[in-house]
Amino acid sequence: MLTVRAPATSANLGSGFDVFGVALGTPADVVRVERAPKTTISVTGAGSEYIPEDPAQNTVGAVADALDAPARIHIDKGVRPSSGLGSSAASAAAAAVALNDLYDRGYTREELVPIAAEGEALVSGEAHADNVAPSLLGGFTIATDDGVTQVDAQIPVVACLPETAVSTRDARDVIPDSAALEDVVDTVGNAATLTVGMTRNDPDLVGRGMEDAIVTPKRTSLIDGYEQVRTAALDAGATGVTVSGAGPGVLAVCHQHDQRAVASAMLEAFEAVGIDSRAYQTRVGEGARLY
């Protein structure tokens, strides 16, 4: 039997829609696998009641199929589904690492990215890799059709998760089909700034580079309290705030000495609009780990 822990992730980071992602230190999914004649899946933990155990409908089942690696698979969810923190990707990444090892498939972590992304297609309708890449590789990742670039960044973040849900499919339905050149120019500049910030471990540059005029503004109306939470986090010292993935999680980047105040401000702002939430005070961290 093999056990793998794969971290939650935050995709997009505002300016890098469907491209940027970071691994979070916490929370994480833990997946256990053992060889079996056919794949079966059991699920416990956060939001497990919403996750299908039928392998044909579970991201992990798609990964087992892609690796031709039938197994008895148990998923212990630390990352709640429909959170914007890469819940399905964490399970898919953990399963990909575990089954690759269990069956000696010999794929590198980079080669596992498109395999784990197959599972994402089940959830969102598209096999985007911006969550599975950081969950597999750790740090900050730039995932494009041509492959993945990874940076071992260590930026302090607060991921604040309200007790509401947004489906990735709904959040993709509100994305505009086209964008004004002016907005594209701004967003490219911000994405470049963010990337440099990650290479320098500079929360100020990363926060500045998270601004996005194209996708994020269309999505914020799906998250009750978003504007209040964003303002509160910035007032408490966050250097940048954006929707985490497809939401409803909200991601703030900050300096270490402001982290506690930023987390408190975000929790209080959600509470002020009548929504319970929890805040993960963590850092950009390591990728999936095999035990």
Residue span 228-267 as binding mask against ligand HSE, x where in contact by CB under 6 A, dash where not: -----------------xx---------------------
**Contact stretch for ligand HSE (CB under 6 A) within 43-51, 128-136, 258-266, 280-288:** 128-136
Residue from 22, 132, 171, 206 touching ligand HSE (CB under 6 A): that is: 171
CB of 214 vs ligand HSE, minimal distance in Å: 12
Q: Choose the stretch contacting ligand HSE; rule: CB under 6 A; options: 45-53, 145-153, 165-173, 192-200.
A: 165-173
Using CB under 6 A, which of 172, 218, 278, 289 touches ligand HSE?
172
Tokens 């492959």 sit at which residue? Answer: 147
Annotated active-site residue 120? The verdict is yes
SS3 string of the chain? CEEEEEEEEEECCCCCCCCEEEEEEEEEEEEEEEECCCCEEEEEECCHHHCCCCHHHCHHHHHHHHCCCCEEEEEEECCCCCCCCCHHHHHHHHHHHHHHHHCCCCCCHHHHHHHHHHHHHHHHCCCCCCCHHHHHHCCEEEEECCEEEEECCCCEEEEEEECCCCCHHHHHHCCCCCCCHHHHHHHHHHHHHHHHHHHHCCHHHHHHCCCCCCCHHHHHHHCCCHHHHHHHHHHCCCCEEEECCCCCCEEEECCHHHHHHHHHHHHHHHHHCCCCEEEEEEEECCCCEEC
β-bridge partners, 153? none
Per the annotation, the verdict on 268 as an active-site residue is no
C-beta of 185: minimal distance to ligand HSE in Å?
21
Q: Exactly one of 118, 120, 141, 242 is catalytic; which is it?
A: 120
Q: Which is nearer to ligand HSE, 86 or 225 (CB)?
A: 86
Q: Which of 9, 168, 239, 242 is catalytic?
A: 168
Report whether 83 belongs to an annotated binding site: yes
Site string for ligand HSE, 73-92 (x = CB under 6 A): -------------x------
- Least distance between ligand HSE and beta carbon 246 (Å): 4
Question: What residues are labeled active site?
Answer: 120, 168
Residue ranges for the known binding site for ATP are 80-90
Residues in contact with ligand HSE by the rule CB under 6 A: 11-12, 18, 86, 128, 130-131, 168, 171-172, 245-246
